[in-house]
Amino acid sequence: MKVLIADANLVPHRERLEAGLPDGCAVAWFPAGAPSEELRDATVYVGSRFTAEMAATAEKLRLIHVAGAGTDKIDFTAVPPEVLVANTFHHERSIAEYIVSAAVLLRRDFLAQDRALRDGRWATSVYDVSIPQLPTLGDARIGFIGFGHIGQQTWQLFRAFGCSGVAVTGSGQVPECGLHWAGDTGELDRLLDECDVAVVSAPLNSQTAGMIGAEQLRSLGADGVLINVGRGPLVQEQALYDALRGRVIRAAAIDVWYRYPSGGGQSAPSELPFGELPNLLMTPHSSGITRDTFEGRADDIAANIRRLSRGEALANVVNQRR
């Protein structure tokens, strides 16, 4: 069995992944992209991108394994029916840390205080009586827009601070876990009106694209914080920029964007000047990028390849669900 690995994020875990593979595997690493002649006789392809041209080249392929959750770069229309496509997660703990950290940072104005002190201004009520004393995180109500594995992991951390929580999902169904209430996305405006921190982790599809616009951001209000770790277009781009610039909402942490680099890691994340906004924490889709995440993903990939070699059912197969 030939395993072709074309994901640079797995390179630091090469020894761990290869140790978990079944005996007799020939492993080829091409983190910058696999040549077509290498793909021709591969049984397993590990990578985030798979095109129709690649499908036409791969003559012996049985499994495409994405080293992450997103499968939007896989051309499913070109994948032969006998080839399985699987994904893996393990980012929920890392993303939960990001969300809670961002909530504290923005609700307590630490981002603004950092910038002020760099200019010599002590922006706290101790030195400026016009600045209010701010609440702790435990006083906050957290609104989850989407409540899958990321939302549920994050809620456990927020609960430890004493927060209350509400959630909306496509189905309106959530596990019993101590939320104040949960409903379907028809309750989105109610959620935003009630919550202090809105956590966006819903999947992006035709129903959810642009679900948060100017009206919804007004509902979140001038003390509200938005944290988006789902996909950029869940929140309307211009509406978000205008709400931050006009202080319609207090602040935001945005880890998912409207424009990504095609290569080299150089690109503005939007056509709008988000970088000029002082009430925005900008991160480059990095909330889930930790050693913990990719160790778990390497283990999952190796376990699925072992299952494949034994003729067993694989975990997290996505094209059968489709």
Residues 117 and 142 in one domain: yes
Residue 322 pLDDT > 70: no
100 and 77 inside one domain: no
> Is the pLDDT assigned to residue 159 strictly greater than 80?
yes
- Whether 319 is covered by a domain: the verdict is no
* Cα 5 to Cα 11: distance, rounded to the nearest angstrom: 9
Task: Please check whether residues 86 and 100 belong to one and the same domain.
Answer: no
Residues paired with residue 25 on neighbouring β-strands, in sequence order: none
State whether the Cα torsion 272-276-280-281 is positive or negative. Answer: positive
Residue 301, domain member (yes or no) = yes
- Whether residue 317 lies inside any domain: the answer is no
Q: pLDDT at position 47, please?
A: 97
Question: In this predicted structure, what is the pLDDT of residue 158?
Answer: 98
Q: 295: which 2 tokens?
A: 């160790």
State pLDDT tens for residues 269-308. 999 999 999 999 999 999 999 999 999 999 999 999 999 9
pLDDT at site 72: 87
In this model, does residue 321 exceed pLDDT 70?
no
Note whether residue 318 is domain-resident.
no
Residue 154 pLDDT exceeds 90: yes
pLDDT band at 87 (very low <50, low <70, confident <90, very high): very high
d(CA 148, CA 271): 30
The domain in which residue 225 lies consists of 92-282
Q: Kindly state whether residue 322 falls inside one of the protein's structural domains.
A: no
Residue 320 lies in a domain: no
Does 249 lie in the same domain as 180?
yes
Whether 154 and 230 map to the same domain: the answer is yes
Q: Note whether 219 and 295 are same-domain residues.
A: no
On whether both 172 and 152 belong to a single domain, the answer is yes
Average pLDDT of every residue of the chain:
96
Residues 141-159: what's their mean pLDDT? Answer: 98
Instruction: Compute the average pLDDT of residues 36-54.
Output: 96
- Could you give the number of structural domains in the chain? 2
Q: Based on the fold, state whether residues 100 and 52 are members of the same structural domain.
A: no
pLDDT digits (tens, 9 = 90+) for 212-265: 999 999 999 999 999 999 999 999 999 999 999 999 999 999 999 999 998 778
Residue 23 lies in a domain: yes
Indicate whether 272 and 297 sit together in one domain.
no
Q: Same structural domain for residues 29 and 121?
A: no
Per-residue pLDDT tens over the stretch 51-72: 999 999 999 999 999 999 989 8
Reported pTM: 0.92
For the domain that residue 75 is a member of, what is the CATH number? 3.40.50.720
Mean pLDDT over 88-105 rounds to 97
Instruction: Provide the pLDDT for residue 263.
Output: 75
Reported as a single tens digit per residue, the pLDDT across 176-206 is 999 999 999 999 999 999 999 999 999 999 9
Residue 234 sits in the same domain as residue 161:
yes
139 with 252, same domain: the answer is yes
Please indicate, yes or no, if residue 73 is contained in any of the structural domains. yes
pLDDT of residue 136: 97
